[in-house]
Chain A
Amino acid sequence: MNIPKDLFYTKDHEWARIDGDTAYIGITDYAQHSLGDITFVELPKKSEELKQSRYCATVESVKAASEVYAPLSGKVLSNNEQLAAHPELINQSAYEKGYFFSMQISNEAEKEKLMDAVSYERYLEGLAK
């Protein structure tokens, strides 16, 4: 399972790439693998205010639909428009081309509630038991 070292993770399998007060958000390789072929994504609108751990997007595979929760609070700067026509990018490139949206973080302290790569890997190992 691909778990990049420079990202932060949630228990619901979202990731955040944090650069200053900006973050890119997506779902993890584990999540895309569990969902299977992704066929539809509903993203938050530009300028939408998100709250940490609250619903922010929906991702659908052929067999199931899942809710995505914001890893951090803040305002949506832009969403990945390519996903509307090509949601399979999430399967192909979960951490790069398959990102969901970028956001301006409003509370940097919330980062403390996220897991680093080592903790997330241990968390996945626990789920597998």
Chain B
Amino acid sequence: MLKTPLYDIHLALGAKIAPFGGWLMPIQYQGILAEHSHIRNAVGVFDICHMGEFMLEADLALSGLDRIVTQNIISMPQGSCRYGFMLNDQGGILDDLVVYRVNENNWMLVVNAATTLSDYEHLKRNLSGQYILEDVSSKTGKLDVQGPQSLDVLKNIFGGGILKLKYYTSSEFFFQNQRCIVSRTGYTGELGFEIYISTDYVIKLWEVLLKDGRVKPAGLGCRDTLRLEMGYPLYGQDLDINHTPLSAGLIKFVDLSKNFIGKDGLLKEQKSGSKEYLIYFQADSRRAPRHGFAIFANDQRVGTVTSGSFSPSLSVGIGMGYVSGNYDIGAELIVKEAGIEIPVKVARKPFKKLTSL
């Protein structure tokens, strides 16, 4: 199991540690509910050093990068970020990622921890012409600062320039004379920032952040409840190679007007209709649907839960899962597992509205 540079600090803070994507990561410090609430109301900082980062120097037209990712990257202004996918030939999702256009010919691709190596191989296989691709994951630290007061906190560290960052843009900043990339992005539904900095400086940055009384450490446990309340899918649970952006309801992150790996598979599926669709549902009780529970409609098994949890904001169980067939908002289903039966209703995402995002 791999450890991030902050591992010993997490232990000293009393964090519960668990394996995640090949890494030993902090799941919680003072408690998932308290951390969840703190990020919805103030600021939390997550150690996200486990995620993968690739730096690519390449001419967009010659390198074939545009064929590898699904979003329209030709139109990306310098300093912008875009969420999208890398697909296999059938349109199955190899990974979801965020592409950063650092400048004209320099790109940063941010990918999931468990898929970093396979993503790198996929890129190397499919890039062409002259390019320089580097996996910088092991020397890049990443801290996510999320919550309604995050802008104020980071203004004190990086200066007033941070105020100019718009949603889904990034820029270069300096921390103790060390260059870092800061983007106004995140996966919690709150105003927030992701900071990429050398692993040599990530501990110092963490310590400076926590000196601000408004900032508390947050673990992956509350990251999961926060992203679920927003209806954001997680790769490895809600997204995988057996499902496409079409069946996941995420086609808006795919530019069908350009050519990309997996486009033929998606067009075929568009004609025939998806075998399964990702739906969102809400229970009428505090009981939590869990990953792997069966979804039933009228005594027929129609699908499987991919993510589920107690929602700290709504105080009921929420979740998502793939079902065969179409179910309207409000349709009644039952989530079942070994004697547990949870009545749920199909819901719109996000479950949690009116966040600071």
Where the two chains meet, the residues of A that have a C-beta atom closer than 8 Å to any C-beta of B are 36-37, 39-40, 42, 58, 60, 62-63, 65, 87-88
CB distance from A79 to the nearest CB of B (A): 16
The interface stretch among B184-192, B252-260, B286-294 is B286-294
In the assembled complex, the Cα of A42 lies from the Cα of B27 at a distance in Å of 25
In the assembled complex, the Cα of A87 lies from the Cα of B288 at a distance in Å of 13
The 6 closest A-B pairs by CB, nearest first: A39-B310, A40-B286, A37-B33, A62-B32, A40-B287, A37-B31
In the assembled complex, the Cα of A37 lies from the Cα of B31 at a distance in Å of 6
Closest partner residue, chain B, to A64 (CB atom): B290
- Scan B303-318; emit 1 where CB is below 8 A from any A CB, else 0: 0000001101000010
Chain B contacts of A88 at CB under 8 A?
33
Residues B16 and A36 in contact, CB atoms below 8 Å apart: yes
Chain B contacts of A39 at CB under 8 A?
33, 286, 288, 310
12 A–B contacts from the bound complex (CB under 8 Å): A36-B28, A37-B31, A37-B33, A39-B33, A58-B340, A60-B310, A62-B221, A62-B288, A62-B309, A62-B310, A63-B309, A65-B340
Chain A contacts of B287 at CB under 8 A?
40, 42, 60
Residues B32 and A63 in contact, CB atoms below 8 Å apart: yes
Q: How many A-B residue pairs have CB under 8 A?
A: 42
Chain A contacts of B309 at CB under 8 A?
62-63
CB distance from B37 to the nearest CB of A (A): 11
Residues B288 and A36 in contact, CB atoms below 8 Å apart: no
Where the two chains meet, the residues of B that have a C-beta atom closer than 8 Å to any C-beta of A are 16, 27-28, 31-34, 221, 225, 285-288, 290, 309-310, 312, 317, 340
In the assembled complex, the Cα of A62 lies from the Cα of B27 at a distance in Å of 11
Chain B contacts of A87 at CB under 8 A?
286
CB distance from A100 to the nearest CB of B (A): 16
In the assembled complex, the Cα of A62 lies from the Cα of B313 at a distance in Å of 12
In the assembled complex, the Cα of A58 lies from the Cα of B290 at a distance in Å of 14
Chain B contacts of A58 at CB under 8 A?
340
CB distance from B227 to the nearest CB of A (A): 13
Closest partner residue, chain A, to B285 (CB atom): A40
Residues A40 and B310 in contact, CB atoms below 8 Å apart: yes
In the assembled complex, the Cα of A42 lies from the Cα of B340 at a distance in Å of 10
* 15 further contact pairs, Cβ within 8 A, besides A60-B286, A87-B286: A36-B16, A37-B31, A37-B32, A37-B34, A39-B286, A40-B287, A40-B288, A40-B317, A62-B33, A62-B221, A62-B225, A62-B310, A63-B27, A65-B288, A88-B33
